[in-house]
Structure 1
Amino acid sequence: MKRELMWNYSAFLFDSTKESGRLYYRVSDLESMHVKFFKAFEADPDYFSKWKKTYERSLQPVHAFYKELDATDLSSFGDNELLKRVHTGIDSVTAAIGVAHMIEPVAIPRDEHLKKELAAFVSDAGELQEAFVLLTSPDGESFAQRATNSLRRIAILPEKEQGKAVDAYMREYSWMWMSCAGRLPMSCEDIYAEMRSIGASKGVSDGASKCEAFVKDHALPEILLRKFEALRFITHWQDERKRNIMIAVEYLERLLEELSRRTSIGVADLRYALKDDFDASLPQKKAELTARREGSLYIATEDENVILTGNAYTEAMKVLRGELKEEKVIRGMGASLGKATGKVKVCMTLDAIKKVEEGDILVSSMTRPEYFAAMKKAAAFVTDEGGITCHAAIVARELGKPCVIGTKHATRVLKDGDMVEVDAKRGIVTLLEKADGGKRMRETQKRSGG
């Protein structure tokens, strides 16, 4: 990103434990880049679309690499050739992020800035939240919704034509069940089960007409409307970036599986290797990779990169996370309006999403496309991270389910089985009843001397 934009993050942290992780940015970086990018946008309305075109051009060599892998039996590569392909695979993941890493400083601070600007025209808090959701809802479908609609079309085909259509679907969307923590194998049986679980389309939303009416009634200025339009554009771009990242990771995963077969290092551990680790000395790094998977903190600055594991990691995380206080009301931002009550299911890994049942409240650090099946079952979503352009916000609107994002620590406060009420219009999650009957609160009070 620095090469293209002449600007970069001064530092960031990545905390990873087993198959889950959390990325931390400096607030000052997000704010300073946010100001820079929006000054450029105000001077040139095509600023963001120009950078998106640059991003798309940068992916052309990546697509050629994918075609090579598709046409090659990976076992035919010599060891050095395979390591070179792994390096290229890592570069492909980096390219899938690329200049689109400008999305975070555009979107994350923009939520609050735009809400404050909109408040000058809307006095009622409830109406303000509803208007904000309307004005930030993107037009068109996300890739997850396009995949769902493809399955709907397959489901109404004559039975003898469905098999061929399912095969084509699997080729097009094989990456959909991919994450940075691995992939779930996609089978024909899975696709048919998915087809059976999909309900009828809810039809076209009237959100656009409501948005048009709101703008007319409140006489919003042109510059404010342009900023909302930019945020909707960024939402589409973020969805496209997510798709590109998942495809890149899926190809890299294929290479890691072949490398694992040759080195006897598990794929789960190989995911914690950095690009420079993939050389002839890789087999000697097995213990270090296992330690990173157990818990590691990656500290990246302009001058150096540091990885903390073991006791150093544990002590650093105590400082980073701070002391967790008991809360009955958790506050965030409503991304899709509505209210729902249900039992919490905290999902931080691919395996965890299997426990979500109909009517549960899905709580996660952030949602990803592989969560989609669980999200269809859940009554509402709650996330620690994310802005109005995030995956949870997009899917919640498409499914018409309440969603509260950016709570910071819902996954640490809430536990499986807790009964909560999600009120997205107010942006709050209320703990109604603990799964352990209040035992956690009593233990917290005891530790604090209360």
Structure 2
Amino acid sequence: MEIDALDLVLEEELKDAISSTFVAKREQNEVYTIITTPSELSAPKKEELMFYRLALTLKETKKYDERLADKILSDLWWTELNWRAGDGKTLQSIKKGADNIFKEAKDIPRHIRQLKNYPDEIKALKKKYLQNKDIVLLNNIFEEYAFLHELRKETQMKTSFSLYLIFEEISKRFGISVNGLEVYSPDELILLLEKDRKISDEEIARRLQCSTLFINNNKVLFKLGEDAIKLKTFEQSKESDVLRDFSGLPASLGKAVGKVKIALSAADALKKIKKGDILVTGMTMPDFVPVMKKAAAIITNEGGATCHAAIISREFNIPCIVGTKIATKVLKDGMLVEVNANHGVVKIVKNL
């Protein structure tokens, strides 16, 4: 099943059902956001709840609940991974996380109650708007769909982690860096493993410098090195310099004004994002969550109503617009923008 393709169809079906039932545009957007919000906790919220419980036990008994720490490691070791694997959680990092909550959180029991009550609160909000059979049906589909999105993300992260374990072993056996192996094609990897046929160091360096896959008139073109840089620069320059605003899908309602920080990886985001910045990225992954909490708003190129950025931003009450297609091309670091997630519009307030 192609989840992303179904996103587009379901979103349009839901918009039609809502617009035929509710008149006010503001109410339509609110209903859309509520219906597409899962009534079960996402992995980051489950993790947060377990960490707060671990911190509460530490506060009350002055000891770690070893069984709970082991469960966090067993169930959620993968939530800090990304497409390039990452290290995953350890018992040491879990206990350090509980320590930080213990030292910094003001009311741990209250926060635990809020997290536990969240699913019932969402269900109560949904009940208010489930006014016809079409919306009820689509709500049920979105509930199942959100689960599939979460499962897919978990599977992707675990698979990526396993793949990099294989890359590390290949690296040891053939004396090629993991970074170098990343730019091998599947066919080239097979030739390496079966016949010890390596790509030259010069070719690896060229691919690492810049690689593009360009589709034009149903023809697929690969450009590498300087040629790839020229093509990338040309494509980015095609976006209008006079563009003052653009739109996407309202994923989590609200408004915010702040400075743009473009981050195409969580590592990049951790270095750049400060509290109150506008996080602009292609798409978010589980390892983005700590940074997402700092952002005043989130804008992505990709995604739909049940994508990672949409689900997490709703849970943390952060204005979010997804599926803009052009955000990382049009916006630049330091720009001042207004994010109106009630209407899905990003406005450039001050250019560089």
Fold shared per TM-score above 0.5: yes
Look up the match of 2:108. none
Look up the match of 1:270. 181
- How far 1:432 moved relative to its partner? 2.2
CA–CA separation in structure 2 for the residues paired with 1:283 and 1:339: 52
- How far 1:224 moved relative to its partner? 4.2
1:183 corresponds to 2:86: yes
CA–CA separation in structure 2 for the residues paired with 1:182 and 1:285: 25
Look up the match of 1:212. 127
1:120 corresponds to 2:36: no
Give per-residue Cα distances to partners, 1:45-64, cap 9 Å, x unaligned.
xxxxxxxxxxxxxxxxxxxx
Instruction: Give the counterpart of 2:312 among 370, 380, 395.
Output: 395
Look up the match of 2:283. 366
1:130 corresponds to 2:30: yes
Residues matched between the structures, number: 330
RMSD of aligned alpha carbons: 2.8
Task: Give 3-state SS (helix, strand or coil) of 2:153's partner.
Answer: helix
- Verify the 8 A CA contact 1:265 1:286 in the aligned structure 2: no
1:125 counterpart letter in structure 2:
K
Structure 1's unaligned 5+ residue stretches are 1-99, 439-450
Change in CA separation of 1:230 and 1:293 when aligned onto 2, cut-off 3 Å: farther
Instruction: Give the counterpart of 2:250 among 309, 331, 334.
Output: 334
Look up the match of 1:445. none
CA–CA separation in structure 1 for the residues paired with 2:325 and 2:296: 21
Look up the match of 2:138. 227
Q: TM-score, length-normalised on structure 2? A: 0.83
- Verify the 8 A CA contact 2:253 2:320 in the aligned structure 1: yes
1:247 corresponds to 2:153: no
Look up the match of 2:225. 310
Give per-residue Cα distances to partners, 1:254-313, cap 9 Å, x unaligned.
12122223333221232232332222335335544443333323479xx99864423554
Instruction: Give the counterpart of 1:375 among 292, 315, 318.
Output: 292
1:133 counterpart letter in structure 2:
T
Change in CA separation of 1:187 and 1:345 when aligned onto 2, cut-off 3 Å: farther
Look up the match of 2:77. 174
- How far 1:398 moved relative to its partner? 1.2
- How far 1:325 moved relative to its partner? 1.2
CA–CA separation in structure 2 for the residues paired with 1:417 and 1:260: 39
Look up the match of 2:42. 142
Q: Percent identity?
A: 26
CA–CA separation in structure 2 for the residues paired with 1:163 and 1:284: 48
Change in CA separation of 1:315 and 1:414 when aligned onto 2, cut-off 3 Å: closer
Change in CA separation of 1:287 and 1:148 when aligned onto 2, cut-off 3 Å: farther
CA–CA separation in structure 2 for the residues paired with 1:164 and 1:257: 32
Look up the match of 1:16. none
411-420 vs 247-256, which moves further: 411-420
Structure 2's unaligned 5+ residue stretches are 106-110
- How far 1:182 moved relative to its partner? 3.8
Change in CA separation of 1:169 and 1:284 when aligned onto 2, cut-off 3 Å: same
CA–CA separation in structure 1 for the residues paired with 2:313 and 2:83: 22
- How far 1:207 moved relative to its partner? 2.8
Change in CA separation of 1:315 and 1:365 when aligned onto 2, cut-off 3 Å: same
137-146 vs 290-299, which moves further: 290-299
- Verify the 8 A CA contact 1:108 1:386 in the aligned structure 2: no
CA–CA separation in structure 2 for the residues paired with 1:410 and 1:119: 27
CA–CA separation in structure 2 for the residues paired with 1:353 and 1:174: 21
